Structure 1
Amino acid sequence: MTAIEASQSSPQLVRIVSNSEAKPLKVFILAGQSNMEGHGVVSMNGKRDYNGGKGNLVWSMKHSQSAEKLKRLKDEQGEWVVRDDVQISFKVDDKVRKGGLTVGYTGYGGSSHIGPELGFGFVMGDYLDEPVLLIKTAWGGKSLFVDFRPPSSGGEVGPYYTRMVEEVRAALAELGDQKYEIAGFVWQQGWNDMCEKPAIAEYAQNLVNLVKDLRKEFDSPNLPVVVGELGNGGPVTSGDMFEFRKAQEQGTRQIKNALFIKTTDFARPAELSPNTTHGHHWFGNAESYFLIGEALGEGMKQLLKESAPNR
């Protein structure tokens, strides 16, 4: 991994060239709704107050519980690190953003926000000898009950299930003759389902069906899967959020070679976060988003180790 300066404009495609060139590319599909899109504030450079900068990434690198580990996100010149061993592809509207992993691969454009991809990609890049590609597909406000509804759940197939598959296939087609392996699936989603009791009731089975259908779609019957808990706001002991989290975990436990990743410990208070009224987006807290991604990465690493114990 090398550190190079991140462009302030949309990152461009960089073909992975390293001593790992001959090794098959490890591809991870990252999917979900707005919390996979990413709302962790990096720095608004004075354009908006955003609670005086509290909880954004620049602030968190100095003042958060994770300050020490976050420091590696900048190089010695104070520029955002861009990984040359981890590439990312993320379609936003009609434009596909591609390049080395760094801050900014969200729906906002530029480098103003992060999502779970950053922490996840750093874990995978550090662990794997092979080059890595993250294919991110995410849209805000979408449920598994309707929008991502998989074929095996019956009824109308969700349009965003179809778009997810199409976008992954398009990104893979861009690789040309480069060898690759689809190495894992990461699912961070659930707010819209949590808001509807019928969706909560079906969620566990819909999650099982989603993974089953994607494994069939990509001819990977044992594809490793990590599911991120809807941990917004921290621990709860009752209500729809409590019931939904149970459904998430129950569904994941029914899936072979899958792990449910707890995230409630990563919740930070609104008063120490950029967007004090946006609890559905972790209050925009960058530390939260990085830690979620890191935990998803550690879970994926565990599954990969179990399938290749001599790594």
Structure 2
Amino acid sequence: MKRVITTACLLLSLFSAKLIEAKAPIQVFVLAGQSNMEGQGVVDLDHEEYYNGGKGTLNSVIESDKSGRYRHVIDGRSNYLKRDDVFVRFETRQGLKTGGLSIGFTGYPGQHHIGPEFQFGHVIGNEIRKPVLLIKTAWGGKSLYKDFRPPLSGGITGEYYKRMLREVDEALANIQEENLELAGRRYEISGFVWFQGWNDMYDEGARNEYAMNLANLILGVREALDRPELPVVVGELGNGGSDTSDNMQSIRDAQRTATLDPRLNGNVRFVQTHQFARPADQSPNVGHAHHWFGNAESYFLIGDAFGKAMLDLLKR
């Protein structure tokens, strides 16, 4: 089954009940990490050989949904919605992607994938009566130990740490030009989400330093954005579920430890994700364990958990 995105009258009817406060400030959330933050959840690709016949795609998840948990993302004709109150900005290798939240804001061309931003944006947008902007800044195959290394950790500051902050600055400077719907509004940086860890898992030094480096990254981001109490969500390296290697478990433990660092003042939440892993034979990319086998339900539920954790932090 193929789906397309619908807008216009459909959006007015679906979102009119949640009126956005007139000229309310834009709530900005930064979503950073490596390839799983880029987004690998398959929406509709269903080639029998290359995508396991479409098992575990977003289409198949919605079609088999009996509870209605996933159906808020489509209309009555099974077309994917495009929100007019939540916007996404992602600089990809193919170019800049901007616009109302829907499928397709990943590192791939077209609208065939989702990442955590998809349901995260729905959760945040459904709760906050203000316009929302999600700034995604993510690159595959990058470590915290080297590529995202924060200044507080000493050594050479990671090129992708600097690039992450540069992209955030560019996004903030160009909000109104890139999203005409947001013209005339100021912004507030409201939260930061970190989803990363795969590359650090394979290096002993990176594993040993991960907790320190992550806490230092959070401190650095807060300082750079002038938000010393910025709410932060850290997503667990949950690939493979509960059956994990010692190296992966060490990263998971380090991620949890980092969120408890007293320097962060408690406004950080570690979010488990391993329970959202799905088997390879029920997923579209059976050989991609590092990408949750491309299972869209995994990415949907990860984004859902991130969004709910962020809302809890914002209510403090």
For the 8 Å contact 1:61–1:67, the answer to whether it is kept is no
Q: Answer with 277-286 or 232-241: which moved more.
A: 232-241
Q: Given the two structures, how large is their TM-score scaled by the length of structure 1?
A: 0.90
1:270 aligns with 2:271: no
CA distance, structure 2, for counterparts of residue 131 and residue 81 of structure 1: 17
1:29 aligns with 2:30: yes
Once the two structures are TM-superposed, the CA of residue 70 in structure 1 deviates from its matched residue by: 1.2
1:227 aligns with 2:234: yes
Q: Answer with 176-185 or 103-112: which moved more.
A: 176-185
CA distance, structure 2, for counterparts of residue 5 and residue 282 of structure 1: 29
1:293 aligns with 2:310: no
For the 8 Å contact 1:236–1:242, the answer to whether it is kept is no
1:169 aligns with 2:179: no
1:68 aligns with 2:57: no
Alignment match, 1:13: none
Alignment match, 1:183: 190
Once the two structures are TM-superposed, the CA of residue 62 in structure 1 deviates from its matched residue by: 2.3
CA distance, structure 1, for counterparts of residue 78 and residue 296 of structure 2: 18
Once the two structures are TM-superposed, the CA of residue 195 in structure 1 deviates from its matched residue by: 1.4
Count of aligned residue pairs for this structure pair: 293
Q: Answer with 232-241 or 203-212: which moved more.
A: 232-241
The residue type equivalent to 2:203 in the other structure is: E
Once the two structures are TM-superposed, the CA of residue 96 in structure 1 deviates from its matched residue by: 1.2
CA distance, structure 2, for counterparts of residue 240 and residue 267 of structure 1: 18
SS in 2 for 1:194: helix
In the TM superposition, what whole-angstrom CA distance separates every residue of 1:141-162 from its partner, at most 9, and x where no partner exists? 0000000001111111100001
Q: Unaligned regions of 5+ residues in structure 1, if any? A: 7-17, 307-311
Q: Where do 1:1-311 residues align within 5 Å?
A: 5=6, 19-44=20-45, 46=47, 49-63=50-64, 68-93=68-93, 95-176=95-176, 178-236=185-243, 239-254=246-261, 255-256=264-265, 257-306=267-316
CA distance, structure 1, for counterparts of residue 244 and residue 96 of structure 2: 41
CA distance, structure 2, for counterparts of residue 287 and residue 63 of structure 1: 11
For the 8 Å contact 2:32–2:195, the answer to whether it is kept is yes
CA distance, structure 2, for counterparts of residue 45 and residue 286 of structure 1: 13
> Relative to structure 1, is the Cα distance of residues 94 and 107 closer, same or farther in structure 2, using a 3 angstrom cutoff?
closer
The residue type equivalent to 1:215 in the other structure is: R
Once the two structures are TM-superposed, the CA of residue 21 in structure 1 deviates from its matched residue by: 4.0
SS in 1 for 2:249: helix
In the TM superposition, what whole-angstrom CA distance separates every residue of 1:235-291 from its partner, at most 9, and x where no partner exists? 146511111110110011113200000011100011100011111100000000000
> Relative to structure 1, is the Cα distance of residues 96 and 128 closer, same or farther in structure 2, using a 3 angstrom cutoff?
same
CA distance, structure 1, for counterparts of residue 110 and residue 5 of structure 2: 16
SS in 2 for 1:190: coil
SS in 2 for 1:220: coil
For the 8 Å contact 2:137–2:164, the answer to whether it is kept is yes
For the 8 Å contact 1:87–1:132, the answer to whether it is kept is yes
Identity of aligned residues (%): 52
For the 8 Å contact 1:21–1:131, the answer to whether it is kept is no
CA distance, structure 2, for counterparts of residue 228 and residue 126 of structure 1: 21
Q: Given the two structures, how large is their TM-score scaled by the length of structure 2?
A: 0.89
Q: Unaligned regions of 5+ residues in structure 2, if any? A: 8-18, 177-183
SS in 1 for 2:72: helix
SS in 2 for 1:160: helix
SS in 1 for 2:302: helix
For the 8 Å contact 2:147–2:160, the answer to whether it is kept is yes
CA distance, structure 2, for counterparts of residue 86 and residue 275 of structure 1: 29
Alignment match, 1:10: none
The residue type equivalent to 1:129 in the other structure is: R
In the TM superposition, what whole-angstrom CA distance separates every residue of 1:177-221 from its partner, at most 9, and x where no partner exists? 530000000000000011111101000000110010110101000
